[in-house]
Amino acid sequence: MNIYLFTGGLLSFVASALHIGVIIGGPDWLRYFGAGERMAVMAENGSWYPGLVTGFIAVALMVLGTYALVGACSGGAGGMQPLTLPFVKWVLLAITVVFLVRGSALLPMYFIMPAQVGAFAVWSSLIVLILGIIHAVGLYQVWGRL
């Protein structure tokens, strides 16, 4: 079992659960977790859009977490995997690249639009960058077995 991909998968599931919590928590949670005043006001006015976007992110994070866990179990004892998915190597590579690019976007954003770099941008970028690094290390370690 690859501990890095396993950890990355679990963290993706935690992030998914937090997004589901934001849907349930409504406008106050949207504000607290940094979705922005516009999204919170839309939710207060009964718009389905904030919940749909947040739900899409939650489902995407579940899929990403599942791929990471499958990658973590690849080439394990006896070559047994609890689940097989298509294109695991390439999906994990895409996930890793997206996490690293999104996490690294803060630096150019600071120079291009410094007013947009608030607390949410900083901590969310750091979290996503850490997720990307965890995935990159794990993917590097299992690449030959995928």
pLDDT, tens digit, 9 for 90 and up, residues 107-132 = 888 888 888 788 888 889 999 999 99
Give the pLDDT of residue 78: 54
| Closest CA relative to residue 93, chosen from 73, 64, 119 | 64
pTM above 0.85, yes or no: yes
Instruction: Identify the DSSP state of 35.
Output: -
**What's the angle, vertex CA 45, arms to CA 18 and CA 56, rounded to 5?**
35
Position 79 scores a pLDDT of 56
- Residue spans of the domains in the chain: they are 3-145
Residue 81: the pLDDT is 61
Cα angle, residue 93 at apex, residues 90 and 94 outer, rounded to 5°? 90
CB atoms within 10 A of CB 131: 25
Please count the other Cβ atoms lying within 10 Å of the Cβ belonging to residue 134: 21
The pLDDT of residue 118 is: 82
Residue pLDDT, tens place only, 38-77 = 999 999 999 999 999 999 999 999 999 999 999 999 865 5
